[in-house]
Structure formats: C-alpha cells, structure tokens
Amino acid sequence: MIRISVPATSANCSVGFDTMGLALDWRGMFLFEQADSLRITGCPEAYAGEDNLIWKAYLTGCEAGGFSPDPLHIHIESDIPFARGLGSSATCIVAGLAAAWEVHGQPAPRHEILALAAGMEGHPDNVAPAIFGNLCTTVMDRDQAVMCATDMSLWHALAIVPENEVSTAEARKVLPATVSLKEAALQAGRAALFVQGLERGDQQLVCAACQDVLHEPWRKALIPQYSRLKDACEANAVPLWISGSGSTMLAISRDRSQLESMQAWVRKEMGLDSRLTNPDREGLQIFHE
C-alpha cells in the first residue's frame, strides 16, 4: 500500500493572483493499492467512478511516465472542505499524479508533477505549495514552471470557513477582462512588498501590502462576511485574504494568541466556523507500507 499525504492550500494570497499559494498543515490522505478493478472509497458515490479527479490524474501521470495504468483501490481520508478555496482539487491532482510513479516503483518527480498538475488545474498557485510546502510563487513560462518558495516558519494561520460554497467558475465570471497600467504597477509593487514582509516577519508591512486590486474587489460580493472581517483585521494589523476563489478567508499572524482571540470573536459575533492551523513546510509526503 502507498499512502500519500497532501496539504490544503490557500491560493492567490491576496496580491498573488494565480501565482502565489500557501500550504497549510491541514492534510488530505490518499491510499493506493493494486486491485482487480477500479474501486474508490471515502468519497460520495457520485465521485467514485472513472471521472474521479484522483484517477484522472493517475492516468495523466502514467501517460507522462510511460507506464501502463493498473486498476487501483483508492481510499480517501480528507476533511478539507470542497468548493471553499482550500485546494481540495489540488490535493487530489497531486496525489493521483504522484501515485502514477510510486505505484510503478519509481520516485515521484516533484517538478514534473508540478508542470502536469498546473496543466490540469489551469494555474500553479494551488498545486505548487501542495507539492513543495511553504508559500510558493510560481509562473508558467512556455509550459515550464518557474518557482520560488518562501519560508513561513514565523507565521500562524486561521482559516475562516463560511457555509456557502463558491465555485471557481462563478468566481472567475465576476472578474474584469482588463486592468489599467496603474493598477498593474500597484499590484506588482504590493506583491513584492508582501513577500519581503513575510520573509522578514514584518506583520505591519504584510498587512499594508495585502490590498489586492485584481480579484478581491469583485469576489468579495460573493462572500457576505468578507468586508466586516477585513475591517476588523485591518484595525488590528492582521493580514486577511480570500483563500483561492473563496468562500474561505485566511488570516495570518506572528502571534498565535492573536488568531485565537480572532477565532473566538468570529465564532461569537459572526457564527462562523474556523480552524487554527500553521503553514505546512513539508508539502507532498509519500509512505510505503
């Protein structure tokens, strides 16, 4: 049996639209073993067939690696919520791709998996941290992934998870087709400051830079709780962003107790579920049993 563990991720990271993603130590576990026919357990029956994303990623990996795909029993153990902006699809894609090599007795090639996963996902911001951990900034250049990871060991995180789902397709529809040169320059500057602030552990700088102009001004309308949370966080110099397409919002702080107080507040005042977590530094993990 092969056990593959993949972290949840928070994509876009405010000013890193489609390029930045943060791994969280909130993990999905995927078990693979050879079988006489395809069998998928641990998910709703509607997703337990050949159109399952894990199985499709496995087939993609087999094709890339030159392997003949074997029937598998795939068992899923994950409480990462679906359609909440926490990279649930990225965990499935990364696990399935990695399994293609591991099932056939070869170590999973992380950088090749990144390129394949970005192709399946459509952009690399979720899949890169799912593979490599920490905060990853990634761009695709002629189908090649160019990536740099930023150590996040100084930070803690709070994932605030509303009940309503937001589909990626729905969130894409509300975005503008073009942006001005002024907005592009402003976003580029803030993105550079954002990463510098994270590396230095400068929470004030990160909070000041955490002001997106590309997607959050439009997507916040899909998340009724966003504006109140953003105002409360800015008043306390806590960086907050829409995680992926939403509806989850992610707050980070150097001080875990600050996030514990925030967690209590959002539960009492807004009735929202949340989860204290830390940035994950390991990324994709594979165990043979």
Could you list the residues known to form a binding site for ATP, using ranges.
81-91
Tokens 């641990």 sit on residue: 42
C-alpha 101/C-alpha 106 separation (Å) is 5
C-alpha 31/C-alpha 72 separation (Å) is 10
C-alpha 93/C-alpha 87 separation (Å) is 10
C-alpha 75/C-alpha 60 separation (Å) is 19
Long-range contacts, stretch 128-131, CB < 8 angstroms, 24+ apart = 128/21, 129/7, 129/9, 129/21, 129/22, 129/23, 129/280, 129/283, 130/6, 130/7, 130/9, 130/21, 130/23, 130/87, 130/90, 130/91, 130/94, 130/283, 130/284, 131/94, 131/283, 131/284
Q: Which amino acid makes up residue 191?
A: A
Task: Extract the tokens encoding 26.
Answer: 């909130």
Binding-site positions: 81-91
C-alpha 263/C-alpha 276 separation (Å) is 8
Contact status, residue 9 vs residue 24, Cβ threshold 8 Å: yes
Strand, helix or coil for residue 88:
helix
Residues with Cβ within 8 Å of 231's Cβ and at least 6 positions away in sequence, in order, are none
